[in-house]
Amino acid sequence: MKNLLTNEQMRKVDAFAMQKVSSLELMEHAGKAVFKRIQELLKDRSGKVVCVCGGGNNGGDGFVTARLLLSNRYDVCVLCRAEKFSKEAIVNRGKYLSLGGEIFSDMPKDRVTIIVDCLLGTGFFGEVRAETSALIKLINAKKEAGSYVVSVDIPSGICGDNGLGELFVFADETLCVGEEKLGVWLLNGLDGAGEVRTLDIGLKGFENENYVRLIEKQDVKKLLPVRRRNSHKGSYGKVAILGGSEQYFGAGYLSCLSALNSGVGYTAWFLPKELIKTAFLKIPEALFVSTNDGYRYEFSEEICQKLCEYDAIALGMGLGVSEAIYKTILYLFKHYNGKLLLDADGLNSLAKFGKADDFLKIKECDVVITPHMKEFSRLTKIDISDLQSEPLRYINEWMKKYATTLLLKGASTLIASGQKIVLTARGCSAQAKGGSGDVLAGLIAGLCAQGKNSFEAAVLGSYMVGVSAEICAKNKSEYSALPTDFIACIGAAFCSISDTRKFE
């Protein structure tokens, strides 16, 4: 796992390091690390390098980089429109000028091979000022014309805490100094950062258990359920899927099919009687349990008792919002001691007919909730804009109140349990289609039934669905790949993660 730091956390790391080295020395180390990376890039390229510098310490890193390039006889100049500078930036600006370095207020008209973006850094939040906005547009225009853009620490215009940004640099790669920044992996940071690299400048010896951790392949490989040759279907658990209705039949279907592909021994789909006639022809491997006559789910204690016989339950996908679902969830909280995943209309029914305190503090089961931002807003009564602006604050507030696993879906996914928060960033835009969340719900529930706790299953399931979408998109494109295609590639994702077959 990699540490992903907020702006405040990074400032504390810098302050800790400055107990032994000065801020100027840290800036020198950062500039040298950036210089070495630019050197590597120039092995296969020739032409001018432009360091676009602001007046803060990020700009100071750029002046160090420009000075080192100049002293090594590279064709380099600085573009800077700042009028005020930090103390460290003033020193390094002077060193660059003393070598004969040039500072321009506009982008060179001739061909620019590499642009080093050192405009704003992690201190930025809010809106970009007009002068800086013009420079960001210049950088992006040069990129469109063929320049290779390297952002230092974070693309200018992206907030390091949350990835928000209206106008920002689209970098080919981002060089995070010391530690990677959380904003690089959230919202627009995902599009702005390009390839992310970490520059080691010796910021060691300071660790914080509250850092968000980026989940990597070696982390999820350890979470794969063990498969034994001497085993049978009863060895791998039983999962129940309570999802689907006449209007949203496909949601339950996708969850059921995904659970079947998780490795679980038994998958039972709980459906109204009239819908089973269609369902059993589509998935012959599934078991079917009739919940009631007709086409829409109705509450009954008898069905809830049957659900309680399963190791894991996924509930809510395509059920429609109703009091019957709310009553079912309350019953399960009081009587079920397995693993319960609540998604979509399960969460929406809770938001409409109850309060979080009514259910989450009375539960006996291991609960994982899988909302997207709008569903989480309904549950918490907090505006989406506030959730996006301070995601860690509201996730931590939720975790202090309720002993659940929270999986907050988005272009990247935040998963929290207790004091742990991790981020999974595998996947692609092919998942921006209806049904993707249903695939995730079924896979997580199937992994829960095989013995994984809700947090482990959420981490593994989120990562695997992302990998399966990437594999699928290689063959069908991010435009045309469908959730059913992701399910077809879950096996390939298992092979990729376990290294039994190479797909990456």
Give per-residue pLDDT as tens, 332-381.
Answer: 999 999 999 999 999 999 999 987 666 677 788 999 999 999 999 999 99
Strand partners, 367: 340
Decide if 303 contacts 335 (C-beta within 8 A): no
Q: Is the pLDDT of residue 238 over 60?
A: yes
Q: Is the pLDDT of residue 52 over 90?
A: yes
- The tokens for 233 are 């279907």
CB 149: neighbour CB atoms within 10 A?
23
Q: CA-to-CA distance for 377 and 351, rounded, in angstroms?
A: 9
Strand partners, 342: 315, 369
In terms of Cβ atoms closer than 10 Å to its own Cβ (0-12, 13-18, 19+), residue 200 is: exposed
Percent of the chain with pLDDT over 70: 98
Q: Is the pLDDT of residue 502 over 70?
A: no
Mean pLDDT of all residues belonging to the chain: 94
Q: Where are the domains of the chain?
A: 2-209, 217-222+234-498
256 pLDDT band, cuts 50/70/90, is very high
Percent of the chain with pLDDT over 90: 86
Q: Average the pLDDT over 129-150 and give the result.
A: 95
User: Is 3.40.50.2300 the CATH number for 2-209?
Assistant: no
Q: Is the pLDDT of residue 113 over 60?
A: yes
Q: Is the pLDDT of residue 503 over 50?
A: no
Query: Residue 222 CA to chain centroid, in angstroms?
Result: 20
Residue 99, C-beta contacts closer than 8 angstroms, at least 6 positions apart: 67, 70, 71
DSSP 123: G
User: Is 3.60.20.10 the CATH number for 217-222+234-498?
Assistant: no
| Long-range contacts of the stretch 23-26 (C-beta < 8 A, 24+) | 23/57, 23/88, 24/88, 24/91, 24/92, 26/201
State residue 208's pLDDT score.
74
* Alpha helices (runs of H) in 356-435, residue ranges in sequence order: 356-359, 373-380, 384-389, 391-401
* Fold matches, 2-209 and 217-222+234-498: no
Among the listed residues 435, 443, 438, 482, the one whose alpha carbon sits nearest the alpha carbon of residue 462: 443
Alpha-carbon separation of residue 79 from 47, 106, 111, 249 (angstroms): 16, 6, 15, 58
Q: What is the pLDDT of residues 295-336, one digit of tens each?
A: 999 999 999 999 999 999 999 999 999 999 999 999 999 999
Residue 40, C-beta contacts closer than 8 angstroms, at least 6 positions apart: none
Q: How many helices and strands, by DSSP H and E, does the chain display?
A: 20, 19
